[in-house]
Amino acid sequence: MRPNIKGSTILVTGGAGFIGSHLVDRLIADGARQVIIVDNMFVGNEMNLQDALSKGAVLYKDDIEIASTLDYLFSKYQFDIVFNCATKALNYSFVNPKNAFDTNVTGVLNLLEHQRCGHFKTLVHFSTSEVYGTAVYEPMDENHPINPTTTYAAGKAAADLAVRSYAQMFGLDCFIVRPFNNYGPRQNFKGYLAGVIPITIYKILKGQKPEIHGTGLQSRDFIYVYDTIDAIVKLYPLMKKADSVNISTDGQVSIKDLIQQISSLMGYKGEVLHKEARGADVETHNASNQKVKKLILYRLTPFEVGLRQTLDWYKENIE
Ligand SMILES: NC(=O)c1ccc[n+]([C@@H]2O[C@H](COP(=O)([O-])OP(=O)(O)OC[C@H]3O[C@@H](n4cnc5c(N)ncnc54)[C@H](O)[C@@H]3O)[C@@H](O)[C@H]2O)c1
């Protein structure tokens, strides 16, 4: 029997990051007995957990690639559920390709070994749409071929296979959620690891010119982070062992349109810089969300609404 979120002791890896910190808030709101976070603070930010820490969550600033980190946590707490959100952003794979791969693979293998030893019951593993690569057919459903184009995505794909094989070999209760591009409050806006929405907002707020890499015709399926979290907690009791599910919207936005939309919301009429295309940039990410829609009452915030709220958050939180 899969433990309920309510009343459980839960570990969230990478929980000081963007999606993980929203998940932590939701788990607390849904009545988790205790939420423990482990994050090596690579981009994690304690500010993201301000509310959660005030409500009794505990943050360990430590690394899940180091097996003894998890040995310590599993000896100290009796976890029921683990949500594995820890990763290093895609752009990092262009700087340190090996470690981008390693983080995604070693972290989950360390967790799976603890699960195999009976140290917790259920693993919810975060995959990414990046594992599909550029679409072979559209919309991309969960059976789309895995064709990663970066070591980040290759590591995520290998992690998915590890989760599935451990589930098959040892009957472990683990499943995979596969979000498409998320946006919303708390997404990292600093430096080369920042996503396109926060970096564009940041640049305009700071009086800098926003940038488009390549033609700008490459498109993404942008989902509001609160919708992703809502879907994951609703999916939690329903997912079969070893199964995976896309979490995406019904539409796509090209990067060019996105920059235009952000510029117009922010009243920016200046120049947009055109930069060289990034190597291995995926052209299109047109997802099928039929499966998630069949499983749960799926909530999707209109893009303009989510974008406006996100913008308000950055205005308040970037000095
Ligand atoms: N943001 C998106 O658009 C998106 C899309 C699809 C999938 N995902 C997946 O969702 C999950 C969360 O992504 P996010 O956007 O919140 O990323 P994020 O970078 O904001 O959060 C990841 C966290 O993991 C931490 N971390 C990195 N290496 C670690 C390690 N070795 N040990 C412990 N902590 C470590 C980082 O410090 C960071 O706080 C990831 O698995 C990611 O692949 C994200």
Domain boundaries, the chain: 9-182+222-247, 184-220+252-317
Question: Does pLDDT of 267 surpass 70?
Answer: yes
Average pLDDT of the residues of the chain: 96
pLDDT tier, 135 (very low <50, low <70, confident <90, very high otherwise): confident
Q: Select which of 60, 92, 132, 152 is catalytic.
A: 152
**CA gap 107, 217 in Å, rounded:** 35
The answer to whether 77 is a known catalytic residue is no
Question: Does pLDDT of 318 surpass 90?
Answer: no
**Fold designation for 184-220+252-317:** UDP-galactose 4-epimerase; domain 1 (3.90.25)
- Please, are residues 159 and 104 in contact by the beta-carbon 8 Å criterion? yes
- SS3 for 119? coil
Which pLDDT score, from 0 to 100, does residue 319 have? 65
Question: Does pLDDT of 280 surpass 80?
Answer: no
Which pLDDT score, from 0 to 100, does residue 190 have? 86
Question: Does pLDDT of 191 surpass 70?
Answer: yes
Question: Does pLDDT of 22 surpass 70?
Answer: yes
**CA gap 10, 23 in Å, rounded:** 11
Which pLDDT score, from 0 to 100, does residue 281 have? 76
**CA gap 214, 217 in Å, rounded:** 8
Which pLDDT score, from 0 to 100, does residue 2 have? 98
Fold agreement between 9-182+222-247 and 184-220+252-317: no
- Please, are residues 131 and 146 in contact by the beta-carbon 8 Å criterion? yes
Q: Does the structural domain 9-182+222-247 have CATH classification 3.40.220.10?
A: no
**169 alpha carbon – ligand 1 mean position (Å):** 27
- Whether ligand 1 lies within 6 angstroms of the CB of 27 is answered as no
Say which amino acid occupies 261.
Q
For 62-66, 132-136, 168-172, 265-269, which range has the lowest pLDDT when averaged over its residues? 132-136
